[in-house]
Amino acid sequence: MSTDYAASRVSYEGAEFRLQRNDDRSQSLVITGAPESLTAAFSGRRDGDAFVAPATGENAAALRSVLPWLKPRRWGLETSAGTGDRLGLATPGHVQAFKDVAGVNPVFAQQSTREMGRTHRTPRNVLDDATWGAFQEGWTGGVGADADHQKTEESLSECAEAGFVFFTIDPGDEMDMAAHDDDEATVRSKAAAIDLSSLDTSADDIVSRYAGQTIELESGPLTLDEESVLRAVAKAGPALVRGLQLINHVEGLGVEHELEFAIDETDKPTTLVEHVVVVKELQRNGVELISFAPRWVGQFEKGVEYIGDREALAKNFSDHAEIARVLGPYKLSLHSGSDKFSIYPSFVEATRGVAHLKTAGTSWIEALRIVAAHDPQLLRDILKLSLESFEENRHSYHLSCDTTRIPTDVPDDKVGELVTALESRQVMHVGYGAVLDEYGVQIKDLLNTHEDEYAALMKEHFIAHIAPFGKR
């Protein structure tokens, strides 16, 4: 017998929409009281008074076209949080958390090209799964959609075509990290060698524009000295060139969009002068940023607490936030935001809520608690495979785990601890690609069987993430 998801029931323009779970665990959209002109958008069949349509990607797109609150929208400067879901099953629990916390706007569909590649999902898959999850839980508060860590024109086009509206431009690979510490002569020659003609400028022009300038921040003046400006050019110049190319590509697509510029996945902190030069040069080229993701001080590793001096980080948050208010305003974006509970309050305070939080891997790693509880051997297999493929999986992720400290032969009743312990947590956190290739069907089957348990876990976990960002 099929059962309804009670929370999904919603009325719109005289019709009632709901989601049901069928005997075979598939899901169907059921519409009653709707004219032919409305149901024509869906592929399905009439069943008495009702129109029944399977929960396919095609019907998700139709649902977005019919129910306006499911169509991705821009959040502008409002406080927002991204919940990136690598499994396509986590959104119901995310929704339950957002229903409990007022004042934070959700971006349920958020996925980087890296994650889509490793999980073999397309931008449409990501958006469609998020649509069904939001619908299942009756979310009518609007949704964003973040094409995260975009590095190529091709993937930007695909995400735009799918309906994403938030584009995270990530030219971080082009940043010259050595220039952070190079001696002055090297910095000078590096800066002079960068072709900045596409930004309609040169290193000399940039120096004459900004060197000696003072920016009045709330906490005092920030003076841009010549060496720091040159260093910013040497370090970020090539990234600016590439970033602008990607931004121009988005702008040429003619779709609704807002832009984040992300240089967070780099080895050295973004200096305040670098922040100013990067944003001002983008603005001079006509770019309006909605958010900026600098590389903060300390270590932002995946899926674990912040590693570093929290007071220094709070100061760093507040310095960058002051700049963002003076040059923008635009939001500051906190990437690798999963499980960094100790730092959310200082981030929110510094930004006054003009902020975006990004999480992704935590929904995946926490799902493994359900696996550990119901199939401890599968969890051991997942860890084993994550370890075997670790060298490949860790590529482009910041991690410090020491794999030799991971225990072997963990008994069933202790397997859940592997999801908590830093070393094994990080290894499995980045193991998602290989693991889903091998055990994806089993894992998803198990999560579907225990969907209420997974949703309840996600709800509590996300309330802890977003409550500090909620109405103050």
Ligand X SMILES: O=C(O)[C@@H](O)[C@@H](O)[C@H](O)C(=O)CO
Residue 101 is given by DSSP the state: S
Helix axis angle, 226-252 to 184-193, nearest 10°: 30
Q: Which residues contact 269 (CB under 8 A, 6 or more apart)?
A: 294, 295, 296, 297, 316
260 is catalytic: yes
List the one residue from 64, 71, 94, 114 that touches ligand X (CB under 6 A): 114
**Span 23-82, contacts to ligand X by CB under 6 A:** none
d(CA 418, CA 414): 8
Closest CA to 260 of 176, 150, 346, 362: 150
Does residue 359 contact residue 111 with C-beta atoms inside 8 Å?
no
**Span 141-160, contacts to ligand X by CB under 6 A:** 148-149
Query: How is residue 352 written in tokens?
Result: 């006054």
Residue 302, marked binder = yes
CA-angle at 264, arms to 278 and 152, nearest 5°: 80
DSSP-derived pairing of the beta strands 80-82 and 45-47: unpaired
List the one residue from 20, 39, 97, 115 that touches ligand X (CB under 6 A): 115
- Minimum distance between the CB of residue 202 and ligand X, rounded to whole angstroms? 33
DSSP-derived pairing of the beta strands 15-21 and 27-32: antiparallel
- Minimum distance between the CB of residue 86 and ligand X, rounded to whole angstroms? 8
* Smaller CB separation from ligand X, 18 or 320: 320
**Which residue in the shown chain puts its C-beta closest to ligand X?**
360
**Candidates 85, 148, 264, 322; catalytic one:** 148
Q: What is the largest CA-CA distance in the chain?
A: 80
Residue 335, marked binder = yes
Closest CA to 93 of 370, 438, 427, 437: 370
Of 30-38, 39-47, 110-118, 225-233, the segment contacting ligand X by CB under 6 A is 110-118
- Minimum distance between the CB of residue 170 and ligand X, rounded to whole angstroms? 8
Under the binding rule (CB under 6 A), the answer on residue 123 touching ligand X is no
* Smaller CB separation from ligand X, 114 or 295: 114
- Minimum distance between the CB of residue 250 and ligand X, rounded to whole angstroms? 17
- Minimum distance between the CB of residue 365 and ligand X, rounded to whole angstroms? 11
* Smaller CB separation from ligand X, 232 or 360: 360
d(CA 431, CA 455): 22
**Span 323-382, contacts to ligand X by CB under 6 A:** 335-338, 358-361
* Smaller CB separation from ligand X, 115 or 274: 115
Helix axis angle, 422-429 to 361-374, nearest 10°: 110
Does residue 111 contact residue 118 with C-beta atoms inside 8 Å?
no
* Smaller CB separation from ligand X, 45 or 120: 120
* Smaller CB separation from ligand X, 159 or 196: 159
User: How many Cβ atoms sit within 10 Å of the Cβ of residue 181?
Assistant: 11
**Span 200-229, contacts to ligand X by CB under 6 A:** none
- Minimum distance between the CB of residue 360 and ligand X, rounded to whole angstroms? 3
Number of residues forming the site for ligand X (CB under 6 A): 14
* The one-letter amino acid at 259: L
Residue 94, marked binder = no
Rg of the chain (C-alpha set): 23
Residue owning tokens 């903060």: 296
List the one residue from 44, 84, 106, 172 that touches ligand X (CB under 6 A): 84
Query: How is residue 87 written in tokens?
Result: 């499994």
In terms of Cβ atoms closer than 10 Å to its own Cβ (0-12, 13-18, 19+), residue 246 is: buried
DSSP-derived pairing of the beta strands 80-82 and 50-54: unpaired
List the one residue from 27, 96, 112, 351 that touches ligand X (CB under 6 A): 112
Of 29-37, 108-116, 131-139, 180-188, the segment contacting ligand X by CB under 6 A is 108-116
Query: How is residue 46 written in tokens?
Result: 């009439």
- Minimum distance between the CB of residue 424 and ligand X, rounded to whole angstroms? 18
**Candidates 129, 260, 274, 319; catalytic one:** 260
* Smaller CB separation from ligand X, 31 or 90: 90
- Minimum distance between the CB of residue 248 and ligand X, rounded to whole angstroms? 22
Strands (E), 108-265: 109-112, 145-150, 166-169, 214-217, 220-223, 258-262
* Smaller CB separation from ligand X, 115 or 176: 115
Binding residues for a divalent metal cation: 149, 302, 335
Q: Which residues bind ligand X (CB under 6 A)?
A: 84, 112, 114-115, 148-149, 335-338, 358-361
Binding residues: 149, 302, 335
Active-site residue numbers? Answer: 148, 260
